[in-house]
Amino acid sequence: MNPQDLLYSKDHEWVRVEGEDGTVGITEHAQKELGDIVYVEAPETGAEVKAGDEVGTIESVKAVSPLYSPLSGEVLEANGGLDDAPELLNQEPYGNGWIYRMKLGDIGELDGLMKAEDYEKLVSSEE
């Protein structure tokens, strides 16, 4: 079950919106598909990102996968804890396994993301 207070992208990222800021991570479904995560490359602090852009990579024992930004804006902070413990993405994808925080550039882009129930339908259709 996906947290109801988050918004989701078709690329399996989530966003927790707090005012004009957003915290971004990957969904439980994504981390299960990837398997054991061994390395995370997050976008750099201060980087300007656009919705849909590849902003980093996630490396697992299975593959290297791109990380896409679900929204446009400025990266405020990357989760430095993932440098020493990338497995947090597997253990706590919706908690300490967040990847980066950003200042939202266009609040209207939130309308392009899915609520939990719609994301769950997407995941079901892919299985």
Confidence bin at 126 (pLDDT 50/70/90): confident
Asked if the structure places residue 126 within a domain, the reply is no
pLDDT tens for each residue of 33-84:
999 999 999 999 999 999 999 999 999 998 999 999 999 999 999 999 999 9
Q: Is the pTM of this model over 0.75?
A: yes
**Total domain count for the chain?**
1
Asked if the structure places residue 50 within a domain, the reply is yes
Asked if the structure places residue 123 within a domain, the reply is no
Asked if the structure places residue 124 within a domain, the reply is no
Contacts (Cβ under 8 Å, ≥6 apart) of 117: none
Across 82-119, b (16+ Cβ under 10 Å) vs e yields beeebebbbeebbeebbbbbbebbeeebeeebbebeeb
- Residue 6: predicted pLDDT: 97
Task: Report the CATH number at residue 12.
Answer: 2.40.50.100
Tell me the residue range of the domain where 72 lies: 7-114
Asked if the structure places residue 63 within a domain, the reply is yes
Asked if the structure places residue 127 within a domain, the reply is no
Asked if the structure places residue 125 within a domain, the reply is no
Asked if the structure places residue 23 within a domain, the reply is yes
